[in-house]
Amino acid sequence: MGKSLFLSLDGTDLAVGAAVAANFAEAFDVIVLTSTVNDSFGAEKVMATGWASLPPAAAYAGELAKLATGYARVFAVSAMWSKDLLPRAAGVADAACVTDVLSIESDTRFTRPMYAGAIVATVEVSAPQTWFTFRPVGFPAVSDAGASVPTETVAIQVDDSAVRNIGTRAKEGGRPDLSAAKVVVSGGRPLKDAASFERVIGGLADALGGAVGATRAAVDAGIAANELQVGQTGKIVAPDLYIAAGISGSTQHMAGIKDSKLIVAINTDGDAPIFSIADLGLVGDLYEVLPVLERELKKA
Ligand SMILES: Cc1cc2nc3c(=O)[nH]c(=O)nc-3n(C[C@H](O)[C@H](O)[C@H](O)COP(=O)(O)OP(=O)(O)OC[C@H]3O[C@@H](n4cnc5c(N)ncnc54)[C@H](O)[C@@H]3O)c2cc1C
C-alpha cells in the first residue's frame, strides 16, 4: 500500500510508466527529469526539474532519496541512467532495490531475470520503501493520455563537486540507438575485421534503417565498437526484428535478445544454439547471404 513515484527521463516513457503504476491500488506521481509534458496519463501530480540534461547520478541521488520520502515505491524504465541512479538513491534511503522487473505479482513481490535470464526469480521485499527498474516489454503502454494537469517545478539540488559532466559527444553515423531500435542487425566472431563488419553488417542494417549490434567475441577481437555489444554484459535489446549473423547463441548473448519479437539467425552450422530461439533460421554463409539481402532490399 502507499503512493508510487515514477521517474520519467523525458516524458516519452510516461505511457509505460502509467501501465506499471496501474499494478498498485493507490495513485502515482511523476517527476520528469529532462523535459516537460502535457499529458498526465493518470498521474495525480506531474513534476519537472527543468533540467536540460541529466546530471551524473551521484550528484543528485541523495537529494532524490530525500524527496521520495513518504512514497511506498519509486520506479523507472530499465536503462543505463536508471540502473546508475536507482540503486544509489535506494541505498541512501535505506530502501529495497529490485532491477529489471518483468512482472509485478503484488505490492511486495516481483519477478526478475537471474543468471543471464536462464531463470526467472520471484523476489519478495520487506523494506517499507522499494525502488525498482522494469523492462517495458512486460507492460503494454497505457493508451489513455488522461487529463492534463499543470506541471509543478520541483527543485532537486545537484551537487557535482565529486562528479560532473565535462562534455557530451553525439553518436556518429546517424544509425538509430541500439536499445530503442525497431530493427537490429548483429554480427559475431566470423566477421574477421572492422571493415568487413561495417560493410556486411552495417550495409544490411542501413538497408533496413536499423541499428548495428555485436557479440562480445566480435568486440573483444576489435571487430566492433564496445558500445555495440549486446547481451548480459552489453545492451538489452527488444526490437521488432533481430538478425543474428554468424552468432553461435551463447547464453550471455541470448540474455540480451530474448525480448525481440522476431529473431532471424544466419549460421553455417545447423546445430548452432541460436537456432533454438530463432523464429526463422537460414543455414548459410553470412558473406553470401547478407549482401544478397541488402541488394534485394535496396531494389524494393
Ligand atoms: C561473464 C561473461 C559475460 C559475457 N557477456 C556477453 C555479452 O554480453 N554478449 C555476448 O555476445 N557475449 C558475452 N559473453 C561471451 C559469450 O560467452 C560468447 O563467447 C560469445 O557470445 C560468442 O560470440 P560469437 O557468437 O560471435 O562467437 P562464436 O561462439 O565463436 O560463434 C561464431 C558462430 O559463427 C558461425 N559462423 C562461422 N563462420 C560463419 C559464416 N561465414 N557465416 C555464418 N556463420 C558463421 C559459427 O558456426 C558459430 O556458430 C560473455 C561471457 C562471459 C564469461
Encode pLDDT of 153-212 as tens digits: 999 999 989 888 888 776 666 799 888 899 999 999 999 999 999 999 999 999 999 999
pLDDT tens figures, 89-139: 999 999 999 999 999 999 999 999 998 788 999 999 999 999 999 998 889
CA of 84 from ligand 1 middle (Å) equals: 27
Span 62-78, mean pLDDT? 97
CA of 75 from ligand 1 middle (Å) equals: 33
- Domains of the chain, start order: 4-153 (3.40.50.620), 183-299 (3.40.50.1220)
Closest atom of ligand 1 to CA, residue 233: 8
For all residues of the chain together, what is the average pLDDT? 94
Ligand 1: which of 219, 247, 286 to mutate, judged by most atoms within 8 Å of the beta carbon? 247
Confidence class of residue 281 from pLDDT cuts 50, 70 and 90?
A: very high
The answer on pLDDT for 75 being more than 80 is: yes
CA of 254 from ligand 1 middle (Å) equals: 10
The answer on pLDDT for 80 being more than 90 is: no
Span 31-52, mean pLDDT? 94
pLDDT tens figures, 218-261: 999 999 999 999 999 999 899 999 999 999 999 999 999 998 99
pLDDT (0 to 100) of residue 166: 87
CA of 203 from ligand 1 middle (Å) equals: 21
Span 78-85, mean pLDDT? 93
Ligand 1: which of 178, 220, 252 to mutate, judged by most atoms within 8 Å of the beta carbon? 252
How far is Cα 269 from Cα 286, in angstroms, rounded to an integer?
Answer: 11
pLDDT (0 to 100) of residue 172: 63
pLDDT (0 to 100) of residue 173: 64
For ligand 1, residues with CB inside 6 Å are: 188-190, 215-218, 229-234, 246-248, 250, 252-253, 256, 266-269, 272, 285-287
Span 275-289, mean pLDDT? 97
CA of 3 from ligand 1 middle (Å) equals: 44
Span 283-297, mean pLDDT? 97
Closest atom of ligand 1 to CA, residue 188: 26
